[in-house]
Amino acid sequence: MTDLRELYLDLHQHPELSLQEFRTAGLLADALRPFGFEVTTDVGGTGVVGVLRNGDGPVVLLRADIDALPVEEKTGLPYASTARATNSDGEDVPVAHACGHDMHATCLIGAAERLVHTRAEWSGTLLVVFQPAEELGCGARNMVDDGLFDRFGKPDVVLAQHVGPLPAGMIAYGSGPVMAASDAARITLYGRGGHGSAPETTVDPVLMAAHVVVRLQGIVSREISPSERAVVTVGRLQSGTKSNVIPETAEIGVSIRTFSEHNAGIVRSAVERIVRAEAAASGAPREPEIEWHGATPVLTSDPDATARTVAAFTEHFGAERLIPNASVNASEDVGVFGTAAGVPTVFWFFGGVDFSNWEPGRAVAMNHSPEFAPEIEPTLTTGVEALVVAARAWLS
């Protein structure tokens, strides 16, 4: 049997950025091969696909994402990541599995092994997918464009899960839209540099950017209906090199989350309008540049397929371990698989926080936080069992 705890610790201590998951992919491929899967690497870049044919029956796709984030881990755990890497902009950055993809990958290895050992009890085909670059929103599309379904077969259902700040051992699910669509923008504002003592001779892009950031926060509260959900976040603001030098440019990174294309259009248009208007009001010497990237569609957990899967969860775990009606404003690209194949996607969350000795007033670390890291158990066991139960709900 695979030592899943050791595999998890290895992945956690050796995180890799999106599209750089070379060691991770190799480790997972090596872990999968002994179970009898036909294993293929380098799918869609650094993706790994395993196929196990076990007689006639449905094709079930089980997916886990494998990339990490440019975040410095501050959990204080003895196995905390100290890794660093060079990002796509050539910058040296810390790297950590601050979103739990190491847990996802480990759970999928565990589920694959368990399904192999019980293959006499089911029939069909397992399509195990370790997907890169989820954090960039392009990994699933890259694998599809690389012929995922032409090369390995079209599934009848796509099953996936995500660990989060819920009580460890619990499973949360939703029916219909469960995660938001996302769009991101890189904005460059242009000014005219000069000496900090003579601002009248310059066009200050820092002040311009400050006005843009504040104005962007009014989009959701004033342009989206209160009955709808949307988020606008400025996650990056960079400009200048010295306190007494007014720079020539300022860069802003914006992320938006919506649950409809209508609202996404409203927000995107508002972002562009505000940026161009503030540049004009500041007397910018040239138009700002706005580059949209990293679009991810709304993730919908198919209602009928979800009901079938949740029924199996209820029978296995008991209703007391299930949390219904879960949805979050974060985004996931796993729905691209189901949409491309024309089959239902089922997505659920499982908890990773031990609340047994939780201190009153202590904040819960969310995914993408430097403090985020799930409890290894019972999180790992729950994640493995959930994938196995879900797969068995669909296999003959």
Give the domain CATH number at 37: 3.40.630.10
The 10s digit of each residue's pLDDT in 51-68 is 999 999 999 999 999 999
Same domain, yes or no: 91 and 115: yes
- When pLDDT is cut at 50, 70 and 90, the band that residue 30 belongs to is very high
pLDDT surpassing 90 at residue 359: no
pLDDT score recorded for residue 361: 83
Same domain, yes or no: 222 and 368: no
Global pTM value? 0.93
Same domain, yes or no: 13 and 113: yes
Q: Among 132-141, 323-332, 355-364, whose mean pLDDT is lowest?
A: 355-364
Same domain, yes or no: 166 and 193: no
% of the chain surpassing 90 pLDDT: 96
Same domain, yes or no: 54 and 111: yes
**Rounded CA separation 279/212 (Å):** 9
CA distances from 154 to 62, 127, 157, 341, 358 (A): 12, 9, 9, 6, 45
Same domain, yes or no: 163 and 256: no
Same domain, yes or no: 230 and 265: yes
Kindly report the CATH number assigned to the domain that includes residue 237.
3.30.70.360
Q: How many domains does the chain have?
A: 2
pLDDT score recorded for residue 294: 86
Could you tell me the end-to-end alpha-carbon distance of the chain, in angstroms, rounded to an integer?
25
- Residue bearing tokens 């190491």: 102
pLDDT surpassing 90 at residue 266: yes
Domain boundary among 240, 261, 295: 295
Furthest-apart CA atoms within the chain: distance in Å? 80
Amino acid, single-letter form, for residue 13: Q
SS3 142: helix
For range 156-183, the mean pLDDT: 97
Same domain, yes or no: 202 and 341: no
Same domain, yes or no: 199 and 245: yes
What tokens appear for 215 in the block?
């104005």
- When pLDDT is cut at 50, 70 and 90, the band that residue 4 belongs to is very high
What tokens appear for 254 in the block?
């914006």
Structural domain boundaries enclosing 60: 4-179+298-394
Mean pLDDT of all residues in the chain? Answer: 97
**Rounded CA separation 191/286 (Å):** 8
Same domain, yes or no: 284 and 303: no
Domain boundary among 246, 274, 295: 295
pLDDT surpassing 90 at residue 356: no
Same domain, yes or no: 235 and 350: no
Domain boundary among 280, 295, 310: 295
Same domain, yes or no: 16 and 142: yes
pLDDT surpassing 90 at residue 396: no
What tokens appear for 163 in the block?
């660990």
